[in-house]
Amino acid sequence: TDYGASLTVSLPAALQPHQPFQIIVRYTTADGPAIWWLDPELTYGNAKPFVFTQGHSVCNRSFFPCFDTPAVKCTYSATVKAPAGIQVLMSATQSTYLEEEGVYQFYMEYPVPAYLVALVAGDLIHADIGPRSRVWAEPCLLPTAISKLSGMVERWLTAAESLYGPYIWGRYDIVFLPPSFPIVAMENPCLTFIISSILESDEFLIIDVIHEVAHSWFGNAVTNATWEEMWLSEGLATYAQRRITTETYGAAFTCLETAFRLDALHRQMKLLGEDNPVSKLQVKLEPGSVNPSNLMNLFTYEKGYCFVYYLSQLCGDPRHFDSFLRAYIEKYKFTSVVAQDLLDSFLNYFPELKEQCVESKAGLEFERWLNATGPPLAEPDLSQGSSLTRPVETLFKLWTTEPLDSVAAASSVDLTKWRTFQTVLFLDRLLDGSPLPREVIKKLSECYSSQLDSMNAEIRIRWLQIVVRNDYYPDLYKVRRFLENQMSRMYTIPLYEDLCTGTLKSFALEIFYQTQNQLHPNLRKTIQQILSQGLNPLPAIDTTAVTTDTPAMVLEDKVSEATNGAISLRDVNVSA
């Protein structure tokens, strides 16, 4: 099963309490949810095979025997043998390489939960981008990665240290993975994993890396003891990320990015319903019934962030809250905590707030924050971002207020001068309002389609979703062109979802027939499940005897939670 089988080891009766002992488990693993094997064709260089692991949240049990819970932390060491020409990396503080034997040795000297043990191997080279950071990538991607990140990571680490204390992991390296990587980024200690597809979207790259930097304190050093309280990592990391961006890029940019994410939170709430239990910060999991990874939604990030922001506002000055978080990290580093640990520490650090019984303030009770379904009980004041959000709101109103007599004013807006987050906020709101009147979508295309063609994938996918949801056939060829050049889950699933929801399923099938061989088998399977909705199962085709010119597809009759997956990918842009 997805959860594996437990291994019970009976200890000798003669073993004394606290007496050290060693257990050796000999095992073999080949395929499992943690281990992603890629043929050379699924890499950018098309030269060598590639493998990476993704342990979050309960997948690493398919990688090695472990206590697969965030409540248990330990150090680890590993020996990895690899063919010549294959570079191996792990989330470890120390590594050595014996070239004549082709053997790598790794050691993580600090205790970490099992899900943070990570390995990647492939055609990777590196370049230093700071005094304690280097970037790893396939040779064809390395120059781009250097140009985007040189000097930046040290700037972000220094800002984080000024807020939350010393960076305790030694190095902060980044490895860019092929587009098959199933999420955007993963905060493996010492070695952040990031999907290469995000390199073209500068502002998203900045936010994603800073979010993973923040996890070095919140999530890696201090970890949620149970997956039911994932917000303790994600909500705090999101808060810390926004404190870092405020320090390095200003409050206006931070408020813009926050407005974009909170818009997405409310969108997800409309889709799921305000009484959906997954909107709680403390989600109750029946053992074995739910994969915790399915709880990676915007409530974990943004509702968690809003609660942490509310706590910071109770202090009056965010710098006072920064001081508390430094003390919290120092007290609990290398351990796992529950929400009550955080809240008790908060009230003990600020005795005046404890005397005021802020935890019981009517309508904003801490218990209600944790266990009520629905939207956040309070949201941050984003007025400092009005210089960036007001133009978005104005343009949106010009396009959605009837009668449509402001096209001249709207068409004069040059989106190429906007920040990425402004453009995606505008497009997301148009997406929410789709289908739009025919005249509106036609004029939108005339005004902006050529501008958007030259922009990054985060922007283009949103415009193409608008095209699909409005059945705007003149721009459909751009949807085909986009999907023919995308191998990433985050840039394919949302479009296939929209194509199959409307009248364009045959168009989606045609594109999939042509592109399936360039997709990772896991992604291919997900798209097959999306395409199979509403269709009778087709007989399996023996793909071993099929040429690349022949459509080969297996449509399955058991459909997974493809819709929910697409929602989370489109609206969360998940960085674990």
Domain containing 60 — which CATH number?
A: 3.30.2010.30
Nearest to 301 by CA among 256, 235, 237: 235
Q: How many CB atoms lie within 10 A of CB 457?
A: 20
Domain count across the chain: 3
Residue type, 74: C
Give me the sheet containing 50-53, strands edge to edge.
Answer: 35-38, 50-53, 119-122, 87-90
Does residue 16 form part of some domain?
no
Active-site residue identified among 138, 187, 203, 212:
212
User: Where are the alpha helices (H) located in 502-559, listed in sequence order?
Assistant: 505-515, 521-532
- Is residue 377 domain-shared with residue 394, that is, in the same domain? no
For residue 486, what is the domain's CATH number? 1.25.40.320
- Is residue 252 domain-shared with residue 369, that is, in the same domain? yes
Half-sphere exposure in the Cβ direction for 59 (13 Å, CA): 18
Asked about 301 being catalytic, the answer comes back as yes
Give me the sheet containing 125-130, strands edge to edge.
Answer: 125-130, 133-137, 173-177, 191-195, 185-186
- Is residue 367 domain-shared with residue 484, that is, in the same domain? no
- Is residue 303 domain-shared with residue 407, that is, in the same domain? no
- Per-residue pLDDT of the chain in tens (576 residues, 90 and over written 9): 556 778 889 988 888 888 899 999 999 887 788 999 999 999 999 999 999 999 999 999 999 999 999 999 999 999 999 999 999 999 999 999 999 999 999 999 999 999 999 999 999 999 999 999 999 999 999 999 999 999 999 999 999 999 999 999 999 999 999 999 999 999 999 999 999 999 999 999 999 999 999 999 999 999 999 999 999 999 999 999 999 999 999 999 999 999 999 999 999 999 999 999 999 999 888 766 667 877 778 999 999 999 999 999 999 999 999 999 999 999 999 999 999 999 999 999 999 999 999 999 999 999 999 999 999 999 999 999 999 999 999 999 999 988 777 777 888 899 999 999 999 999 999 999 999 999 999 999 999 999 999 999 999 999 999 999 999 999 999 999 999 999 999 999 999 999 999 889 999 999 999 999 999 999 999 999 999 986 544 333 333 333 333 233 333 322 333 333 333 333 333 444
211 assigned to a ligand binding site: yes
- Is residue 431 domain-shared with residue 404, that is, in the same domain? yes
Does residue 571 form part of some domain?
no
Q: How many CB atoms lie within 10 A of CB 204?
A: 24
- Is residue 139 domain-shared with residue 55, that is, in the same domain? yes
Active-site residue identified among 301, 305, 309, 448:
301
18 assigned to a ligand binding site: no
DSSP letters for 249-300: H-HHHHHHHHHHHHHHHHHHHHHH-TT-GGGSSS----TTTS-GGGG-SHII
Asked about 472 being catalytic, the answer comes back as no
- Is residue 173 domain-shared with residue 274, that is, in the same domain? no
Whole domain around residue 300: which residue ranges? 223-381
CA dist 311 and 379 (Å) reads 12
Report the Cα–Cα distance between both ends of the chain, in Å, rounded. 23
